[in-house]
């Protein structure tokens, strides 16, 4: 599908926070100068078309007492799919990307306790026989996240 | 830290917020709570940083941002905070972190994610970062993503 100017304005605005109010979408629609039902139908369509992968709260595992950790593995290409199945089977694996490097599998672990990171990474090492390098964040320099539509 | 009620609310919302005129009322009903009580708990979760924001996660690929480069840099430790702050402010950098090195194979301690419509655009942006880091940067690399292997976000285990 193609995005028109209104879709793009919606997508840009919806990457910022939705108000905690009884009719939050009506408030955003008013800001954008469109009707609430038009905003909702466009959002629904963009979600169905997977232009929006998810709409809802972004949780911070660390603030819940848990932890995040970026991890990387050097997976032999011939075993990639087998290893991938084992890694992705862990619910703690929140995102996983194939990347152009000897370290070719990069994933984020999100766990409810700090110990969960080590436990999960160790389990993946045992199951795959491949070292899991761990890159926890030491400092975060502003998270923009937003992408201009 | 989160209590049992927080956990119920998080579980109810981790799949997303309904796209209906009164979404919190609908979630509250599912949880057998008053809408006001739910809004109060959500405001509390936000003030504690458990919820960062309620927003859309766009699909970069579908928006034509098909090139995604994780740029990595070996920056002198004494300068990493100052330089990381500058890099994090660049409009095309979506995430920027200091992370530990994994020597000897991985000398990089600064990670900045850069998106573009193609690799040429990502390389142009990367050159801007190179210029800012100057002599403080001892080594650099870029890792393009070639496939999304999983993208689900945080999932709580069904009862912890």
Nearest CA in chain A to B48: A63
Which residues of chain A make contact with B46, given a CB cutoff of 8 A? Answer: 20
Buried b (16+ CB within 10 A) or exposed e, A99-127: bebebbbbbbbbbbeeebbbebbeebeee
Q: Which residue of B has its CA nearest to A89?
A: B150
**Who wins on pLDDT, A22 or A144?**
A22
Q: Which residues contact A85 (CB under 8 A, 6 or more apart)?
A: none
Closest chain B residue to A1, measured at CA: B62
Segment A85-101 shows an average pLDDT of 95
Residues forming CATH 1.10.10 domain(s) in chain B: 4-47
Contact A99 B143 (CB under 8 A): yes
- Enclosing H/E stretch for B86: helix B80-88
Min Cα separation A76/chain B (Å): 16
pLDDT (tens digit, 9 = 90+) per residue, B29-44? 999 999 999 999 999 9
Q: Which CATH architecture has domain B67-144?
A: 2-Layer Sandwich (3.30)
CA atoms in the 13 A half-sphere facing the CB of A59: 30
- Which chain B residues touch A53 with a CB distance below 8 Å? 57-59, 151
Task: Report the CATH number of the B4-47 domain.
Answer: 1.10.10
Asked whether this complex has an ipTM greater than 0.85, the answer is: no
pLDDT at B123 over 80: yes
B113 interfacial to chain A (CB closer than 8 Å) = no
Predicted confidence at residue A112, as pLDDT, reads 83
Judged by DSSP in three states, B139 sits in: strand
Share of chain B above pLDDT 70, in %: 95
Q: CB distance A147–B46 less than 8 Å?
A: no
Tens digit of each residue's pLDDT (9 = 90 or more) over A17-58: 999 999 999 999 999 999 999 999 999 999 999 999 899 999
Handedness of CA B58, B63, A46, A8 (dihedral sign): positive
Q: Average pLDDT of chain B?
A: 91
* Residue with the larger pLDDT of the pair A129 and A53: A129
Q: Mean pLDDT of all residues in chain A?
A: 92
Can you tell me the distance from the alpha carbon of A137 to that of A132, in angstroms, rounded to the nearest whole number?
16
Average pLDDT of the residues in A71-82? 97
Question: What average pLDDT does the segment B46-65 reach?
Answer: 89
CATH topology of domain A61-135: Alpha-Beta Plaits (3.30.70)
Q: Which of B21, B48, B99 sits opposite A136 (nearest CB)?
A: B99
Tokens of A87: 């890694």
Inter-chain contact A100–B85, Cβ cutoff 8 Å?
no
B144 touches chain A (CB under 8 A): yes
Contact map slice: A 91-130 vs B, CB within 8 A:
91, 93-103, 105-107, 110, 112
Q: Which residue from A25, A54, A147 is facing B21, i.e. has the nearest CB?
A: A25
The mean per-residue pLDDT over the stretch A76-92 comes to 97
Q: Where are the domains of chain A?
A: 5-48, 61-135
Of B23, B85, B94, the CB nearest to A147: B94
Asked whether the beta carbons of residue A63 and residue B48 sit closer than 8 angstroms, the reply is: yes
Sorting pLDDT into bands at 50, 70 and 90, what band is A79?
very high
pTM of the model: 0.78
Among A31-35, A70-74, B81-85, B147-151, the minimum mean pLDDT is found in B147-151
How close does chain A come to B64, measured CA to CA in Å? 9
Q: B111: helix, coil or strand? A: strand
Residues A39 and A32: their CA atoms lie apart, in Å, by: 9
**Where are the CATH 3.30.70.920 domain residues in chain B?**
67-144
* CB of B4 less than 8 A from some CB of A: no
pLDDT band at B58 (very low <50, low <70, confident <90, very high): confident
Please report where in the chains the tokens 């998080």 appear, as a residue.
B10
Q: Is B143 within 8 Å of chain A by CB?
A: yes
Using CA coordinates, name the residue in chain A closest to B59. Answer: A51
* Rg over CA atoms, chain B: 20
């Amino acid at each position: 599908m193609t995005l028109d100017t209104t879709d793009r304005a919606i997508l840009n605005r919806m990457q910022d926070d939705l108000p905690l109010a009884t009719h939050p979408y009506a408030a955003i629609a008013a800001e954008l100068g469109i009707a609430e039902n038009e905003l909702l139908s466009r959002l629904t369509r963009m979600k169905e078309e997977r232009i929006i992968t998810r709409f809802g709260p972004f949780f911070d595992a660390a603030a819940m007492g848990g932890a995040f950790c970026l991890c990387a593995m050097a997976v032999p290409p011939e075993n990639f799919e087998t290893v991938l199945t084992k890694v992705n089977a862990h619910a703690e694996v929140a995102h996983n990307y194939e990347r152009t490097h000897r370290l070719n599998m990069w994933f984020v672990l999100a766990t409810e306790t700090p110990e969960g990171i080590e436990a999960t990474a160790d389990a993946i090492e045992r199951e795959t026989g491949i070292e899991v390098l761990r890159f926890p964040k030491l400092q975060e320099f502003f998270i923009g996240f937003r992408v201009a539509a | 830290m989160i209590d049992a009620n927080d956990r119920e609310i998080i579980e109810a919302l981790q799949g997303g917020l309904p796209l209906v005129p009164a979404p919190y009322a609908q979630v509250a009903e599912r949880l057998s709570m008053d809408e006001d009580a739910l809004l109060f708990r959500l405001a509390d979760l936000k003030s504690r940083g458990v919820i960062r924001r309620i927003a859309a996660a766009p699909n970069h690929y579908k928006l034509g941002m098909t090139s995604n480069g994780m740029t990595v840099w070996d920056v002198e430790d004494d300068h990493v905070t100052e330089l990381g702050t500058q890099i994090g402010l660049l409009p095309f950098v979506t995430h920027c972190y200091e992370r530990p090195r994994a020597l000897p194979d991985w000398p990089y301690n600064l990670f900045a994610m850069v998106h573009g419509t193609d690799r040429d655009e990502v390389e142009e942006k990367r050159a801007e970062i190179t210029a800012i880091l100057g002599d403080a940067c001892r080594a650099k690399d870029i890792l393009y993503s070639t496939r999304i292997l999983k993208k689900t976000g945080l999932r709580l285990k069904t009862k912890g």
